[in-house]
Amino acid sequence: MTCSPADCISDGSFTITKKPQAKRIGSIAVLARLKPWHVLILTILLSNGMVGLLRVITEGSYYDRSLASRPGDDLLGLYLAAASWIIHRDMSAPDEDRSPNLESSRLWHYATAGVGLLAGVVLQLIAMALHGGKQTPANTYHNLVVVSVLTYFVDSVLPVVVKTRHRKAQIIAIAGLLGWFGLLVWDIKAGNLQRNNSRWAMP
């Protein structure tokens, strides 16, 4: 059998073909580089932290009537932190299967990134339609940036969360995701999303 040193291990008497290694790309590569608590803090700062700062600067006061936004985005930060924990554990596990899979597919990342961008744009267009074509800078940032990025990250790492054998991290991730979804359902029923705007942006 002939193969390159990168693909095979040989001691002279026999040759073992290495399994193809999955490449870490996109969100997986980012979460592999950051520690779980870094992921949680960055998510909170770049979502609710930045939204709150923009509201204070451009509207003069802080508010957030959407539970799916706060603490919902924080729960998604917890989900991503748990996903980062899973990825780090998988990297250090000698018996973990690292063969090419869904989350290492460029097509998967392109598709989930496209879904994230579409979700942000659609949400922004709906919000503007509900408020006479106007939106606050904070809500525009949240819709186009936070929603788009979080949707991509949450969706693209879902296969990692689903198939992991690290149950503690998996339970934390699923609890965070289900908690956010429950808050979103509550917001929709209570009409919180329509009211999450300053008076000057109302029609």
| pLDDT tens digits along 5-35 | 544 444 555 444 444 456 789 999 999 999 9
* DSSP symbols for 59-116: HSS-----TTTTTHHHHHHHHHHHHHHHHHHHHH-TT---S--GGG-HHHHHHHHHHH
* Domain interval for residue 183: 20-201
Consecutive H or E run containing 9:
strand 8-10
Residue 10 belongs to some domain of the structure: no
Does some domain include residue 15?
A: no
What pTM does this model have? Answer: 0.84
Rounded to 5°, the CA angle 178-45-136 comes to 90
Model confidence at 180: pLDDT above 80: yes
Does residue 12 fall inside a structural domain?
no
Answer yes or no: is 1 within a domain: no
Residues 173, 76 contacting (CB under 8 angstroms): no
Question: How many domains does the structure of the chain reveal?
Answer: 1
User: Is residue 135 in a domain?
Assistant: yes
* Residue 157 covered by a domain: yes
154 within domain boundaries: yes
Please write the tens of the pLDDT for every residue from 60-102.
989 888 999 999 999 999 999 999 999 999 877 655 555 568 8
Q: Is 8 part of a structural domain of the chain? A: no
Give 38's pLDDT tier (boundaries 50, 70, 90): very high
pLDDT digits 0-9 by tens, 108-136 = 999 999 999 999 999 999 989 887 888 89
Q: What share of the chain is helix, strand, coil (3-state, %, to 5)?
A: 70, 5, 30
